[in-house]
Chain A
């Protein structure tokens, strides 16, 4: 199982995706070898509500709290 496949098991959960430049909080929508996609909201501090795609290869770790 790859990192992306393992992260995919958390789809629907609130996660924090940590990259070298920032940590993006949101609800995980999808995960594949190219991108992790989150629905971020202003309530969790990452700009306006919307989908954020982070490069899977640049992701250091994903934290889940559920």
Chain B
């Protein structure tokens, strides 16, 4: 089994890469900038799970704004590795929103569910089934969406 890399180890790797390495050359950071980048990355590692935003981390640092931009980019890259999340809404969200209150069929990787669209998020749809139960559908694993009125031929 492959070893699991912790967030702290990942940050260490990035910090080592930042030192005289390629990132330094790409962003043109001096030694002061490198220390500041390391400080914010350390703070980021300590903030994991607290919900503290990148903006608040940067806001509490004494950094000047161009460096903030660079650190923000690096942190966003790390966050992308740690916790990849789709940023755009699912294409199904628009279809579902247009069918709020209507009965629909949704085909997922675990089968088909049917119900009235009660709520729509960027990557989920809440259906109310005929039996009264609620189904929260993950649009990431949805393959088809169909308005469906069994009373109409």
- A binding-site residues for B, Cβ under 8 Å: 1-3, 6-7, 10, 18-20, 23, 33-34, 56-65
Contact A33 B123 (CB under 8 A): no
> What bracket does the count of chain B residues touching chain A fall in?
20 to 34
Give B6 Cβ to nearest chain A Cβ, in Å: 14
In whole angstroms, what is the CA distance A62 to B139 when docked? 12
Q: Of the candidates A3, A19, A23, which one forms a contact with B136 in the assembled complex, judged by CB atoms under 8 Å apart?
A: A3
Contacting residues of chain B (103-153) with chain A, CB-CB under 8 angstroms: 108-111, 113, 119, 121-124, 126, 129, 133-142
- B binding-site residues for A, Cβ under 8 Å: 83, 85, 108-111, 113, 119, 121-124, 126, 129, 133-142
Contact A57 B111 (CB under 8 A): no
Give A32 Cβ to nearest chain B Cβ, in Å: 9
In the A-B complex, list the 6 residue pairs whose CB atoms are closest, starting with the nearest.
A60-B110, A60-B108, A18-B110, A3-B124, A20-B109, A60-B141
